[in-house]
Amino acid sequence: MKPRVGLLLGDRNGIGPEIAAKLLARPETHETTEAVLIADPGVYRDGQSVAGIEIGRELEFHPLAAPANGTDRGTATAAAGKEVLATIKQAADMAAAGDIDGFVFAPLNKQAMHLAGLGFEDEMQFLKSHIGFEGEVGELNVLEKLWTSRVTSHVAIRDVADHITTDGIARAIGLLDRSLRASGLERPRLAVAALNPHAGDGGNFGREEIDVIEPAVAQAAADGAAVEGPYPSDTVFVRAKEGAYDGVVTMYHDQGQIAMKLMGFGSGITVLGGLPFPVTTAAHGTAYDIAGKGEADPTALIEAWRTCTRMAHSAKGANT
């Protein structure tokens, strides 16, 4: 049976509805997956209009109980943010109940969500709290076949070193390893990036590599992960790009994000790793500056759909 994957249109004031329409217009989208649309019908129609597409295919449709009133294109509004939060809740409830096998959301806007009272650092923590999940979660960034996880995320650079712990690194390695396996890779090859220049140069530029990172790598390897490092962060991505690794564990947000976005800004995706069902999205934002012009490229959302589908297939196979 095809997995049932939900699709959310994201922030109605951004490019989400139009790139979602472009995704749904592709025959390939429906070949191995049953698409379930969770959205305001008016926003869905508007997305088709902006994209210049009329989708002739009948889709299973779950309208929102409380949609926003009107679209204020190119602007972060509390109404749009509230709608996004309601949509995430609805999709999460459906996934938790087994009505869908995972979901993909088009780009959200954190400012709009905070205006609506998000109450959490990001949508991942909001989602985790809503379903009452107590396991380890984290954002994973994916570009084609290369995945990354990070030990710290939305933390000031001056505080990063204080948040780097052996346990935290071990959790990031484990999350990346499990998520790659869930995507269908039997034994992922992982590298761990150093924190300091030249991987600390034997302790001359900091001892975090010796005292904190190396023990975490050794422990993860002893537990069965195919992991190496720490390696200097200015070279590890060169080797990963050449295919030496399937995933890289980074120490902080921009250490991996800069490399990944330079290699492929328009096609990178984000996986909300560790949740009991797959959730993916495009790594780029709502692009308010071009919203409504029909110019938005759906490549990243297409990749997010493919990855969620693959993970859903893998999960269904494991449960049969």
Side chain identity, residue 191: A
The answer to whether 1-134+269-320 and 145-266 have equal CATH topology is yes
Q: Which CATH superfamily is domain 1-134+269-320 in?
A: Isopropylmalate Dehydrogenase (3.40.718.10)
The predicted-structure confidence for 247-270, as pLDDT tens digits, reads as follows 999 999 999 999 999 998 888 999
Q: Which CATH superfamily is domain 145-266 in?
A: Isopropylmalate Dehydrogenase (3.40.718.10)
Identify the H or E element spanning 139: strand 138-143
Q: Answer whether 100's CB lies under 8 Å from 8's CB.
A: no
DSSP notation for 217-240 = HHHHHHTT-EEEEEE-HHHHHHHH
Question: Over its length of 320 residues, how does the chain's per-residue pLDDT go in tens digits?
Answer: 899 999 999 999 999 999 999 999 999 999 999 999 999 999 999 999 999 999 988 899 999 877 888 899 999 999 999 999 999 999 999 999 999 999 999 999 999 999 999 999 899 999 999 999 999 899 999 998 999 999 998 889 999 999 999 999 999 999 999 999 988 899 999 999 999 999 999 999 999 999 999 999 999 999 999 999 999 999 999 999 999 999 999 999 999 999 999 998 888 999 999 999 999 999 999 999 999 999 999 999 999 999 999 999 988 765 54
Domain parsing of the chain, residue ranges:
1-134+269-320, 145-266
State the pairing for strand pair 247-250/226-231.
Answer: unpaired
Task: Quote the CA–CA distance of 234 and 248 in Å, as a whole number.
Answer: 12
